[in-house]
């Protein structure tokens, strides 16, 4: 009989510093509903990653917030990023964080190079962060990350699916999120040479269909 496989370790962070971030809340939800084959850990904040500056980078040691995140990324089987959209692009704080992560750490190397990454995003607006995700995908490709091509998840009008009193998203939103996580689990498993996880998704043009 084959040994049971250890769950995939997924490190997640949001491209928002906001306390009541929809994207942060969706990651907390993802950690709660993740499929059994996945342990999803949400990195508490990227607020401790300073503005990228090659002079700071050249001074040792690296800033604590950068080292903390690099270690967490390096230890993970995959990374999940939830991005808001700012001015039809990804937020500056997220791009800044990725610029740090793209650099060669003396001990850890380039932690995103070859790393399986999934992205999604939520906005109160109507377009679901399509433009932000497109540009995030572009930047991740430049740093050698392996970004999951499908399924894709664009969450529009997110405020209407969140209930502050119970601090939960509605069932339809949780279902879409779980389907996305199952797709990520199957895709990362394939990258790592694992058996494909059972998954009942149907994909049409890269998007999840129910
Ligand atoms: C500077 C700025 C620019 C924004 N531009 C966009 C935009 O281009 N498209 C969009 O859908 N929402 C835009 N928004 C609204 C954000 O999607 C919204 O604030 C969202 O809640 C941020 O994500 P969070 O809840 O995870 O913090 C913008 C917000 C700010 C502050």
Is the pLDDT assigned to residue 200 strictly greater than 60?
no
Least reliable range by pLDDT among 17-21, 148-152, 201-205: 201-205
Beta bridge partners of 146: 116
- Tell me if 133 CB under 6 Å of ligand 1: no
Is residue 93 a part of any domain in this protein? yes
Is residue 198 a part of any domain in this protein? yes
Is residue 2 a part of any domain in this protein? no
Q: What percent of the chain has pLDDT over 90?
A: 86
- Tell me if 124 CB under 6 Å of ligand 1: yes
Contact 115, 150 (CB under 8 A): no
Is residue 3 a part of any domain in this protein? no
Mean pLDDT throughout 25-33? 98
Q: What is the CATH number of the domain that holds 145?
A: 3.40.50.360
Count of the separate structural domains present in the chain: 1
pLDDT in tens, 140-195: 999 999 999 999 999 999 999 999 999 999 999 999 999 999 999 999 999 888 75
- Tell me if 92 CB under 6 Å of ligand 1: no
Averaged confidence pLDDT in the chain: 92
The confidence score (pLDDT) of residue 42 equals: 98
Is residue 123 a part of any domain in this protein? yes
Is residue 1 a part of any domain in this protein? no
Contact 170, 142 (CB under 8 A): no
Is residue 45 a part of any domain in this protein? yes
How would residue 1 be classed by pLDDT, with cut points 50, 70 and 90?
A: low
Pocket-testing residue among 42, 85, 155, 162, ligand 1, by greatest number of atoms within 8 A of Cβ: 85
Is residue 100 a part of any domain in this protein? yes
Residue numbers of the domain that contains 168: 8-209
Is the pLDDT assigned to residue 86 strictly greater than 70?
yes
């Amino acid at each position: 009989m084959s040994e049971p496989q250890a769950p995939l370790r997924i490190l997640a962070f949001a491209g928002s510093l906001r306390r009541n971030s929809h994207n942060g809340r969706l990651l907390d939800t993802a950690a709660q509903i993740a499929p059994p084959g996945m342990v999803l850990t949400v990195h508490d904040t990227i607020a401790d990653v300073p503005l990228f500056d090659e002079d700071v980078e050249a001074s040792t040691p690296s800033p604590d917030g950068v080292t903390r995140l690099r270690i967490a990324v390096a230890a993970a089987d995959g990374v999940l990023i939830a991005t808001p959209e700012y001015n039809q692009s990804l937020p500056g704080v997220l791009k800044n964080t990725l610029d740090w992560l793209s650099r060669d750490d003396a001990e850890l190397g380039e932690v995103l190079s070859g790393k399986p990454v999934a992205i999604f995003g939520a906005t109160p607006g109507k377009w679901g962060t399509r433009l932000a995700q497109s540009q995030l995908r572009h930047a991740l490709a430049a740093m050698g990350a392996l970004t999951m091509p499908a399924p894709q998840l664009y969450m529009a009008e997110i405020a209407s699916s969140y209930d502050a009193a119970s601090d939960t998203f509605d069932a339809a939103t949780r279902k879409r999120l779980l389907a996305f996580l199952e797709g990520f689990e199957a895709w990362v498993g394939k990258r790592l040479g694992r058996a494909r996880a059972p998954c009942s998704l149907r994909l049409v043009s890269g998007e999840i269909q129910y």
